[in-house]
Amino acid sequence: MAQEPERHANEPAAVTKLLIDRPSDFKFHVAYLAYSSSWDKTASQEIKTKLNEIISSLSNQEIDYSTFYEKMGQYTGNNSKHYAWPRDTIVTQRKRDWRKREAKDSRNARHRGRS
């Protein structure tokens, strides 16, 4: 009979990764991949325990996805509260308006060149 090694009182037990992925549920699958990636990158048993609690809460529908990602942000290195998309303003105009402006600009350019 094999003997288990003695655990000291101050030595924490090894935390195992939860295998609760649902590939058919896309949103949960992506959340699980984020959990899995963070879990693999850390060596701290305390952080692994926290990550397990977060994914378990999501799996049991105790928290929603925005709360999940907010909590995961502490452990993924993403400290921003909300990801802001870098958006530039796009100015549009009708083709007819563009042609009128181009014609006017070219007329003015012809007359400026004569002086």
- Tell whether 57 is covered by a domain: yes
pLDDT per residue as tens digits for the range 17-68:
989 888 999 999 999 999 999 999 988 899 999 999 999 999 999 999 999 9
Residues 6+ apart with CB under 8 A from 95: none
- Tell whether 53 is covered by a domain: yes
Nearest partner of 60 among 16, 28, 35, 38, judged by Cα: 28
Domain extent for 54: 26-76
Place of tokens 């935390």: 15
For the chain, how many structural domains are there in total? Answer: 1
Residues 6+ apart with CB under 8 A from 21: 28, 29, 32, 36
**pLDDT greater at residue 16 or residue 90:** 16
- Tell whether 46 is covered by a domain: yes
- Tell whether 36 is covered by a domain: yes
- Tell whether 108 is covered by a domain: no
- Tell whether 95 is covered by a domain: no
Q: Give the integer Cα–Cα distance in Å for 16 and 22.
A: 18
Our CA dihedral for 89, 95, 97, 100, rounded to 10 degrees, sits at 130
Place of tokens 């609760």: 20
- Tell whether 35 is covered by a domain: yes
Q: What sections of the chain are H helices per DSSP?
A: 26-41, 45-59, 65-76, 95-114
- Tell whether 92 is covered by a domain: no
The pTM of this model reads: 0.57
